[in-house]
Structure 1
Amino acid sequence: MAVAIAALSLILLMIAAYRGMSVIIMAPLLAMLAVFLTDPVAVPTVFSGLFMEKVASFLKLYFPVFLLGALFGKLIEISGFSRAIVEAVIGLVGSRRAIPAIVLVTALLTYGGVSVFVAVFAVYPFAAELFRRAEIPKRLVPATIGLGAITFTMDALPGTPQIQNIIPTSFFGTTTWAAPVLGTIGSLCIATAGLAYLDWRRRSLMAAGEGYGASETLINEPEPVEQAGQVHPLVALLPLAVVGVSNLLLTIAIPRLVATDQVSVSMAGLPDPVTVKLAQLSALWAVEGALLLGIGTILIFAFSTVAKRFAEGSKAAVGGALLAGMNTAVEYGFGAVIAALPGFLVVKDALRGVPNPLINEAITVTSLAGITGSASGGLSIALAAMAEQFMAAGDAAGIPREVLHRVASMASGGMDSLPHNGAVITLLAVTGLTHRQAYKDIFALTLIKTTAVFVVIATYYLSGLV
């Protein structure tokens, strides 16, 4: 019965997300439903003392990253830099190679710090035009954008500033550059297999006589893209390079500049010093500093353009950051409540039966990501409940924390992209396609991404590479 209560709450959350209901509303309601069915008297205490505490602790750590990432992405968009990057890549690769061109430009944007949702809106008009010119079926557009945005650049490539690569740092004491060799190998596997699959699908559909699609049956078609010709592509790429390089340099510099793990600062108006643990925050500080430098770079080179739309754009960025941050935070709180229930303890004990620590971690994280329909949400739930168990098993087996980080991060982006995933729903809505038309190819990428996690695990055991 205890397991059924925990499972019921998780399944109802999945159904609610699939039906488009707000996770911010449904997560606390369903968490408290599970508590009510277990111990009705405990509901108010668990809500205030556990659920809301976990929501607040998540936002305290990660909201600055959500906010700075959203602002950086918005400034990249309104400055015209994203359009210049897209046009340059298309000009370099050629419209005849539409699928690799769109994957490359989307990957550049997301690895450079632009959020997945901003990248989708920025790239779609160019993807639609390229596919139309080449008569490639439009149904492949979501999977093509998805390969560049929600696979290897989200959590596999070392140093990526996306939240899925940042969350493990506060649990394992690692950095966003954890396990660089394994992350690069996993990225190459995903990109190669994904491009091969999409090219096979393109040839199969076109051989069957399917073109881009009849104009009268298509919706959300963008206006023809006009050549911007105002921003040099090297200037447009500079903020992305600044974020990547400064993230690496700050990751190295911060621990060296701060000699102790615990940092204390005395303030005249406070009775006690303000104290933080460096191991928990150094990776976050590095990403936040890098995003600030990227924002500063945009302002230096495009101040006059950005200033005209900064007020409107910054409001949109704040709204997007609040929504994304709260969505993930309430899923984190939801996971903490579920992890405290008797039913989850039964599941946790059962998972201990998986003898291999990395396989155990991968299965746990990707399963919870799939159930919640969120890579960051599933990752947060899994690590909040079982990080100590993963580290203990990893330490006993001599597995570096960096490998635990990379496996957890990559696993979060595995089965998360089921039909109720927010990024999938956004992709389909923006492109004007339905699950029936386009989800098959997104799910193929889901299988490729999930398989790549186990390829990375096998590579580690066979070679010892980190």
Structure 2
Amino acid sequence: MSFLIALAALVFLMFVAYRGYSVILFAPIAALGAVLFTDPSAVPAAFTGLFMDKMVGFAKLYFPVFLLGAVFGKVIEMSGFSKSIVSAIIGVVGRERAMLAIVLVCGVLTYGGVSLFVVVFAAYPFAAEMFRAGNIPKRLIPGTIALGAFSFTMDSLPFSPQIQNIIPATYFQTTNGAAPLLGTLGSIFILVLGLTYLEWRRRQALKAGEGYGEGHINEPAPIDTEHLAPAIIAFLPLIVVFVVNLILGGFPGLFTGLIDLAYGASYDLKLAMDHTIPNPIAPIKAIWAVEGGLIAGILTVVVFGFRNVSQNFAEGTKAAVAGALLAAMNTASEYGFGGVIAALPGFLVIKDTLAQIPNPLVNEAITVTSLAGITGSASGGMSIALAALSKDFIAMGDAAHIPHEVLHRVASMASGGMDTLPHNGAVITLLAVTGLTHRQSYKDIFAVTCLKTLAVFFVIGVYYLTGLV
């Protein structure tokens, strides 16, 4: 019975997310409903002492990353730099290679620190124009954008500043450059197979005589590429984010970051207080490194794009803050939900069942990607899994002599696997922006999802065969 209660709570959360209801509202309802059926008297204490404690702890660690990422994406958009970046990449790749160009555009923006949602808005007008010119079916645009923005640069490539690559660092005490070789190989695997799949779909449509189509909604206005910032200036903020992130966080096995050099293993905060507050550095240095990189990137955009940014800075940053609050609170609520579910007797049954998977990396991958699929959120599903089971993953990994960097990379990549099921917020936004439906375009998004999930097990196989990290 206890197992069914925990499972029912997970299914309920998945259902309300799929129906479009707020996870912020329904995550505590789902969690406390499970507590109610287990021990009614424990509901108030579970809410205050467990759900809220976990939710606030998540927000304390990660909200600045959500906020800075949203502001960085917004100023990149307001400055016009995003259009310059898109135009420059298309100019190099060629308009005749529409799919490759859009995938690279989305990949560069995502890896540069621009949020996934901003990337969708930046890339879509160019994608529509290029697909129309190449007579490629519009229904393939969402799958193309998903491959570039929601896959390899989000959580596979080392040093990605996206939240899916940062969360594991606090559990495994690694940097966001963990397992650079495995992450790079996994990224190549996703990119090559993804582009091969999209090209096959394009050829299928061509053979059937299907073109871009007519009567579409949300068709973008023609793009003005006459008055864009020079490409070197537009790319500079992305480069700054990467370089500052690298310098602060260090490169595994190559050089130590400035944060380690300045603070060591721990820093005691004293100021004018009559007591000290110890701050262990290892769990948070990846967060500090990304925050430093994003701050430097924002300042770079403001300096070089001041004229455009200053005109709408107040309204633009309000929108960015609202978006960051919503994204952070959604994930924090799912984290609080995970903390409550993990404390229930029924979760022990789930935990023991998963423990029957003897291989620690396969166990971790299946657990994380399953919870990401259930919640419809890469960061939310991974947060639930790591909050409940990270110590078990570490113990199993240590027993098998698996470096924590590999655990980090597998968790990160697995979170971006089955997360893009139909109820995923990014999927819904992508389809809404492009004016397409699940029925028209979700098939290709799901194909990218399956490739992404397969890539996790490819990376695990490479590790066991070669020992590469």
**TM-score range, shorter-chain basis?**
over 0.9
Counterpart in the other structure of 1:299: 302
Counterpart in the other structure of 1:69: 69
User: Residue type matched to 1:219 in 2?
Assistant: I
How far 1:304 moved relative to its partner? 1.7
Counterpart in the other structure of 1:231: 229
SS in 1 for 2:275: coil
1:389-418, Cα deviation, whole Å (9 max, x unpaired): 000000010000000000000000001111
2:414 is equivalent to residue 411 of structure 1 = yes
2:269–2:279: 8 Å Cα contact kept in structure 1?
A: no
Counterpart in the other structure of 1:241: 239
User: Residue type matched to 1:113 in 2?
Assistant: G
- Structure 2: 5+ residue stretches without partners: 251-256
1:267–1:274: 8 Å Cα contact kept in structure 2?
A: no
How far 1:230 moved relative to its partner? 2.9
TM-aligned CA distance change 1:23 to 1:228, over 3 Å: farther
Counterpart in the other structure of 1:345: 348
Structure 1: distance between partners of 2:319 and 2:466: 47
1:335-377, Cα deviation, whole Å (9 max, x unpaired): 1111111111111011111110000000000000000000000
Q: More deviation in 411-420 or 226-235?
A: 226-235
2:194 is equivalent to residue 194 of structure 1 = yes
- For 1:418-433, list aligned pairs within 5 A: 418-433=421-436
- For 1:440-455, list aligned pairs within 5 A: 440-455=443-458
User: Residue type matched to 1:296 in 2?
Assistant: L
How far 1:274 moved relative to its partner? 2.7
SS in 2 for 1:276: strand
Structure 2: distance between partners of 1:319 and 1:225: 27
How far 1:305 moved relative to its partner? 1.5
Counterpart in the other structure of 2:254: none
How far 1:245 moved relative to its partner? 1.1
- For 1:200-215, list aligned pairs within 5 A: 200-214=200-214
- For 1:75-114, list aligned pairs within 5 A: 75-114=75-114
2:270 is equivalent to residue 266 of structure 1 = yes
Structure 2: distance between partners of 1:427 and 1:263: 43
Counterpart in the other structure of 1:389: 392
Counterpart in the other structure of 2:261: 257
How far 1:95 moved relative to its partner? 1.2
Counterpart in the other structure of 2:375: 372
User: Residue type matched to 2:266 in 1?
Assistant: Q
How far 1:225 moved relative to its partner? 1.3
Structure 1: distance between partners of 2:468 and 2:301: 37
How far 1:271 moved relative to its partner? 2.6
1:50-76, Cα deviation, whole Å (9 max, x unpaired): 000001000000000000000000000
- For 1:137-176, list aligned pairs within 5 A: 137-176=137-176
User: Residue type matched to 1:311 in 2?
Assistant: A
1:254–1:282: 8 Å Cα contact kept in structure 2?
A: no
Structure 2: distance between partners of 1:378 and 1:18: 15
Structure 2: distance between partners of 1:315 and 1:100: 34
SS in 2 for 1:267: coil
2:60 is equivalent to residue 57 of structure 1 = no
Given the two structures, how large is their TM-score scaled by the length of structure 1? 0.98
User: Residue type matched to 2:271 in 1?
Assistant: M
Structure 1: distance between partners of 2:49 and 2:225: 55
Q: More deviation in 92-101 or 175-184?
A: 92-101
1:259-286, Cα deviation, whole Å (9 max, x unpaired): 5322112121x33223211011111100
1:84–1:229: 8 Å Cα contact kept in structure 2?
A: no
Counterpart in the other structure of 2:463: 460
Counterpart in the other structure of 1:401: 404
SS in 2 for 1:176: coil
1:274-299, Cα deviation, whole Å (9 max, x unpaired): 32110111111000000011011111
Report the aligned-residue RMSD. Answer: 0.9
TM-aligned CA distance change 1:348 to 1:186, over 3 Å: same
2:83–2:228: 8 Å Cα contact kept in structure 1?
A: no
1:84–1:228: 8 Å Cα contact kept in structure 2?
A: no
Q: Name the count of aligned residue pairs.
A: 463
Structure 2: distance between partners of 1:29 and 1:272: 39
Structure 1: distance between partners of 2:446 and 2:366: 18
SS in 1 for 2:267: strand
Structure 2: distance between partners of 1:329 and 1:446: 24
SS in 2 for 1:291: helix
Structure 2: distance between partners of 1:206 and 1:234: 37
User: Residue type matched to 1:344 in 2?
Assistant: F
SS in 2 for 1:280: coil
Counterpart in the other structure of 2:6: 6
